Chain A
């Protein structure tokens, strides 16, 4: 399997957990602190930090510190893992939709047979 295929697998695996999907959902609105995420999902801080670690290792989220306080961790989504893949899929889908319509027109209106 290619490195990229593995990356996609890792992404899907990380998203298999409903709590982690909820975290991604929350982060898609805006970056948030870990405490905020724990509160919103009703999870304890240790459980939340385990989920955040899994998401970070899968390359889905990244953490940073605000300038005023190095102890506070802010999480945000990293878009790269699948953005590129989706773009390809969209292009390929558009391509085949066009081609199959042209194919249909050819079969049904073509002069042959």
Chain B
């Protein structure tokens, strides 16, 4: 079991256009998500902005909130147009030490582009130390059993 998620999609565009649309037009296509509100005042408008020196690398991924305040989601770590984008990802409620990272790859497939998002670092999110197992909860236990079963299935044959 790894602590990252991998999601990809194929789009009818070349990698440079896909990269541009992803970075420059994100405010137009990004859907506010209730589960992942960056701040209590979200949603605002998300965008990638250059750093003080004008470079994209070292720039920021931000959300401009309805009141005009800017929340920094993370810094831009890699900026390779048509190829790769890496940026940090923190919600306002993340505790210190929690840090996740989003890596986006743009690969040509014929005259289309496969865009793959790899969002890792979820193992830095606190492991709840609830005394929950002292409270038998049928639903929870059933859920857990399913989880373990599926995890074991996925571990089978995996070289650890």
Contacts and interface: CB of A to CB of B under 8 A. Distances in A.
Interface of A: 2, 4-5, 7-8, 11-13, 15-16, 21, 24-25, 28-29, 62, 77-86, 88-89, 91-108, 110, 112-113
B12 A107 contact: yes
Contacts, number: 144
B22 interface: yes
A8 B125 CA distance: 11
A105 to B, nearest CB: 7
B18 to A, nearest CB: 6
Contacts of B133: 62, 78-80
B127 A99 contact: no
Nearest to A15: B155
Interface of B: 1, 3-5, 7-13, 17-18, 21-22, 25, 28-31, 33, 35-36, 97, 100, 115, 117, 119, 122-130, 132-133, 140-141, 144-145, 147-149, 151-152, 155-156, 160
A106 B21 contact: yes
Contact of B7 (A91, A93, A113): A93
